[in-house]
Structure 1
Amino acid sequence: MKHWRILGILMLCIILTGCSTNHETDTTSDSQGVMTKNQDLTLTTTHPITSLDTDKLSQFGRLNNTIEGLYSAMGDSDTELALAKKVKINASRTTYTFTLWKDSYWSNGDLITASDFVFAWQRALQPRTKSPNADLFDGIKNARQILNGKLPASQLGVSAPDKFTLVVHLDHPMAELPQRLAFPLFGPQNEKFAKRMGKRYGTKPQYHVYAGPFMVSSHKFSIQHWHMVPNPHYWDRKHVYLRQIDVRMYPSQRAAWNAYESGTLDEIRLVNKTNLKSFEKSADYTARPYSKMVNLVYRQRGHAANTPLMRQKTARLAISHAINRQVLTQASYGSTSLPAKGIVPAGLSRGVRGTSDFAAAQPEQKTLAFLPKTAQAEWLAALKATHQKRVTLTLGYSDIGSGEKVAKVLKQQLVGTLPRLSITLKPRQEGLNRDYAPVTADMTVVTQRAQYADPLAMLDLFTSDNAANFGHWSNETYDDLIDQASNAPSFNSQRWQTLLKAEGLLMQEQGATPLIQPASTYLVNPKLNGVVYNTVGTQSNFKSAYFVH
């Protein structure tokens, strides 16, 4: 059984001054002699394509296979240089100078240059672009002032002194920078092509170009059924084996299931399958961990009737103590997922020299314990403080995946434990390519992802000025701790302790309440080999995938 037991192996990469890589890759397939003639892969997706423009995507889904940047993410949460040949870092670790390869090309044959990175990064920060993940630029010189509207995007600390040299200036050292730069948002954009296309850019395959191993084909393209084919100008084209990746939305889970059973679909997620044990001994079963958390956030801004109650730390602690996370996890996501230990997912990061996992070291585990009597006392105290005898809260949830199931079990637990409480469920539509939607309920179940392999990737989401801080919880001490960790020049023990202190404060305050660390269970064609599954950032890399007999 491919069970989720790899939580202790995720190690962070510290990129050293002057490191480089070889573009003449030695990557080969040990199984080329047994490859099938049919190298067509068929996948499913839950979202239609509404844009091919990477600056406008909040999630990249299958499109990450069309993107490549300075670094590539590896399956073990490490990184390696990709479009960059080498990087030099100054003594204060605030300036990175990348030398690009001179033989990397866009899918239309144009040369990939340093100015394409400058254009892409500045464009992502421009108000008219409204990149949903723009906060990831924070720490690059002037990015925060640009995000706050105090400087134009042209003042971002990135420059191209010549075609193949990219210089990145930082406001402060960022130990996690290589992990961040592996995220697809930091890939290049073809400036010449984008300006020629104007408003059409990224709206259809013929109006976009690609730097990654695959490109989206314009043949029979629709937003619900599309194809990726090898990029003919990709620098490592000889090690891209698939002929085509066919991606489609199915009208129902039953239709997708029938397609998998008939052999016309190569991967299917086991959604709403209650008896997972019946699949676990199958050769095509797999459970994949991913560094994301299902959290409960509280609306703490505005003039809604229950906002004063949601601002009460005691009320939020009562809610956390009223949740039996083991039961909630089992009833919604199943046995392969984990009850939350904190905001930072288990397996995301380990301490210096491979010491304890960050999630296991979280100092305020007691705030997540199921303590019904404590919860009741805290809840009554919170009601008294806000002069309420009875309250009805709205609970928002995503209208896709397991969101409704989580919300229903959560409602049952909270109403069953906390006196004088009623809850009204409120479905919340989610889209792939748009800004973070504001929460419109008193409490909202949200799924939040680590975009790079470091505790900071999750903890930074709850700083006061982060767009992903849905409930607008704010704490100056917490913000200062995150700033200290962000400024650290390396992954040292002091930085580790600072991050633990920050999460401890977040848990003491229950600025957000972590619920579940979900794992996704799939059936995958056992003849498919060579796929790299990442635990952070983007999930599946099919660059070197192939089918065997």
Structure 2
Amino acid sequence: MKHWGFILILLLGLGLTTGCQMQSETESPSDSQGVMTKRQVVTLATSQPLTTLDTDKLTQFGRLNNTIEGLYSATGEGQAQLALAKKVHVNAAKTTYTFTLYKDSYWSNGDVITAQDFVYSWQRALAPTTKAPNADLFVGIKNARKILDGKLPATQLGVSAPTKFTLVVHLDHPMAELPQRLTFPLFGPQNQRVARKYGKRYATKPQYQVYAGPFMVAAKGNTRQHWHMVPNPHYWDREHVYLQRINVDVYRTTRQMWRAYRRGTLDEMRLVGITNIKSYEKQAAYTARPYSKMVLLNYRQLGRNPTIDHLLSQRLARLAISHAINRKQLGQDSYGNTSLVAQGVVPAGLSRGQRGTADFAAAQPAQDTLAYQPKLAKQQWATARKRAGLDHVTLTLSYLDAPYNKKIATLLRSQLQRALPGLQIKLKTREWTINRADGPANADLALTTQHAQYADPLAMLALFTSDNAANTGYWFSERYDELIAQASNAPSFNSQRWKTLLKAEGELMKDQGVTPLFQPASTYLINPKLNGVQYNTVGTQSNFKGAYFVK
């Protein structure tokens, strides 16, 4: 059968590093061997209801990533391995990727997954009527930027299906990080026949969607408070999907989650609040889960008040704010001891050098711009304020109405007002914009959290180019754009590309186009009997394909 040569190699490799746990998962796939429980049902929590099953309309995939599979899948370390693609051929110029798909991969309704399903999916994501929130990830594929700018129709995207199981991807330039990028769920296929059949109803309800991943959303029993997934009966590796059901319950408050976890009706509980973390960190169920995301402070330089714009457009003002922040204290008092002080905009552990010895985050230049130096901050602030003709300054600081964020904003306000004379900060909440990209900045300062969507420094650094939708403060540096373009055009992960990315990061930090605060690690209590979950450091956070309960 297909895929098994690859699976054998993968399991042998994993066996060297994961030991008995992997052996239990692969050699004892049934309760008859005394390892697994008969009831393989996991219950998880979410704070948001299921609003769509359309991958082109999701800003965050959450649990739904378990229903999606593409050309590549991500390993636990964020690297790329072939999934629905059997093999790939790259031309000498590294601008054309030719993928050969397996001929016996199926949708959950039994349809064969074809190359045209990828063509349809990618073109649809870029179409003006869709314009997926993460559509910038397609930039680099031939004509993607022109399509996003409205200069070409989506049908001109550089992707084609010359045969039923051959997918050809043409690039504007070499993209060393393309395999890592293609692990992101947005690059998965969509069933064109099913989409056309249901039209406007497509993906609005489970019965109007089909799935290529190990699980599918059940068509019955779903409400605004609950939805669940069951195994995809036609998934190519169905034999190694052990869970019978994944329940996802919507909770409005942390207190409700706590009650469910203590009753034993919830298998994973995120710890929110420093007291809870300290109380439970020595328990077997406790885990601190690192993830490649950064809490950032963004500046609006094109607001409604020219005087404030003049202040925040000064590099010196932004440096003053950066030097006024005690990042270690801010992270500890909000997320706890598991958070890491920012060394730059790229999170720790995201990417290493060619020989696997250098972490990009640790190598980032201009780290002195992030040092806590209150005396220097006071001097810089006084000069910037004088240049703007301001004695007293009132700035607005917005934050997303979500766990942790209000506490971070309150602590940050306190630090800045204490360190910078004449500064007053008014807090302003931002509402959730479910499955919509953030619009222009609506406050002078904005707390945001950015996730790396693939395992490469470019995943974070590209967010701050002048034409990226995530650059809501409209920071601009021609030199920075040039460096990111050079790194984007690199044919391989060579030392020159590495140096170019470091130079770009240095430009961003020297100018404080955005101010990194800290890298949080989410902390959880997890049912100790749940094994085999792949927790990712980038992209989507957890993969339950090989998960199972032991007795």
TM class, shorter-length: over 0.9
1:60 and 1:538 in contact (8 A); partners too: yes
2:274 and 2:335 in contact (8 A); partners too: no
Q: Distance between the aligned counterparts of 1:273 and 1:424, measured in 2?
A: 25
Residue 209 of structure 2 corresponds to residue 215 of structure 1: no
Deviation at 1:276, TM superposition (A): 2.2
1:31 and 1:548 in contact (8 A); partners too: no
2:47 and 2:252 in contact (8 A); partners too: no
2:138 and 2:144 in contact (8 A); partners too: yes
Q: Distance between the aligned counterparts of 1:432 and 1:539, measured in 2?
A: 18
What letter is aligned with 1:411?
R
Per-residue CA deviation, residues 470-496 of structure 1 (Å, 9 max, x unaligned), is 211011100000000000011111111
Q: Which residue of 1 aligns with 2:125?
A: 124
Q: Which residue of 1 aligns with 2:77?
A: 76
Q: Which residue of 2 aligns with 1:468?
A: 470
Deviation at 1:24, TM superposition (A): 7.0
What letter is aligned with 1:294?
V
Residue 390 of structure 2 corresponds to residue 388 of structure 1: yes
Q: Secondary structure at the match of 2:168?
A: strand
Q: Distance between the aligned counterparts of 1:357 and 1:244, measured in 2?
A: 38
Deviation at 1:238, TM superposition (A): 0.8
Q: Distance between the aligned counterparts of 2:91 and 2:125, measured in 1?
A: 26
Deviates more, 1:20-29 or 1:529-538: 20-29
2:55 and 2:186 in contact (8 A); partners too: yes
1:346 and 1:359 in contact (8 A); partners too: yes
What letter is aligned with 2:26?
S
1:130 and 1:435 in contact (8 A); partners too: no
Q: Report matched runs for 1:392-431 at 5 Å.
A: 392-431=394-433
Residue 428 of structure 2 corresponds to residue 433 of structure 1: no
1:23 and 1:85 in contact (8 A); partners too: no
Residue 490 of structure 2 corresponds to residue 484 of structure 1: no
Residue 286 of structure 2 corresponds to residue 304 of structure 1: no
Q: Report matched runs for 1:211-290 at 5 Å.
A: 211-290=212-291
Deviation at 1:122, TM superposition (A): 0.4
Unaligned runs of 5+ in 1: 1-19
Deviates more, 1:20-29 or 1:217-226: 20-29
Q: Secondary structure at the match of 1:394?
A: strand
Q: Distance between the aligned counterparts of 1:482 and 1:217, measured in 2?
A: 43
Q: Distance between the aligned counterparts of 1:402 and 1:97, measured in 2?
A: 45
What letter is aligned with 1:264?
T
Q: Which residue of 2 aligns with 1:162?
A: 163
Q: Which residue of 1 aligns with 2:333?
A: 331
2:52 and 2:58 in contact (8 A); partners too: yes
Deviation at 1:31, TM superposition (A): 4.0
Q: Which residue of 1 aligns with 2:188?
A: 187
Q: Which residue of 1 aligns with 2:318?
A: 316
Q: Which residue of 1 aligns with 2:7?
A: 25
Q: TM-score, normalised to structure 2's length? A: 0.94
Per-residue CA deviation, residues 364-417 of structure 1 (Å, 9 max, x unaligned), is 010000111111111111111111111100000110011101000000000000
Per-residue CA deviation, residues 106-142 of structure 1 (Å, 9 max, x unaligned), is 1111110000000000000011112000000010011
Q: Distance between the aligned counterparts of 1:158 and 1:176, measured in 2?
A: 17
1:22 and 1:85 in contact (8 A); partners too: no
Deviation at 1:223, TM superposition (A): 3.3
Residue 59 of structure 2 corresponds to residue 62 of structure 1: no
Unaligned runs of 5+ in 2: 12-24
Per-residue CA deviation, residues 492-526 of structure 1 (Å, 9 max, x unaligned), is 11111100000001000000000010000000000
Bigger helix share: 2
- Cα gap change, 1:24 to 1:388, in 2 (>3 Å): closer
Q: Secondary structure at the match of 2:337?
A: coil
What letter is aligned with 2:58?
L
Per-residue CA deviation, residues 518-541 of structure 1 (Å, 9 max, x unaligned), is 000000000001100000000100
Per-residue CA deviation, residues 255-280 of structure 1 (Å, 9 max, x unaligned), is 11111111110000001242523322
Per-residue CA deviation, residues 222-276 of structure 1 (Å, 9 max, x unaligned), is 2331010001111111111000000011232111111111111000000124252
1:274 and 1:334 in contact (8 A); partners too: no
Q: Which residue of 1 aligns with 2:496?
A: 494
Sequence identity percentage: 67
Deviation at 1:355, TM superposition (A): 2.8
1:398 and 1:428 in contact (8 A); partners too: yes
Q: Distance between the aligned counterparts of 1:432 and 1:458, measured in 2?
A: 21
Per-residue CA deviation, residues 274-310 of structure 1 (Å, 9 max, x unaligned), is 2523322211111010000000000122433522221
Q: Distance between the aligned counterparts of 2:284 and 2:375, measured in 1?
A: 46
Q: Distance between the aligned counterparts of 1:240 and 1:179, measured in 2?
A: 24
Deviation at 1:23, TM superposition (A): 6.9
Q: Distance between the aligned counterparts of 1:113 and 1:275, measured in 2?
A: 49
Q: Secondary structure at the match of 2:417?
A: helix
2:46 and 2:248 in contact (8 A); partners too: yes
Runs of 4+ in 1 over 4 A off after TM superposition: 20-24
Deviation at 1:21, TM superposition (A): 6.2
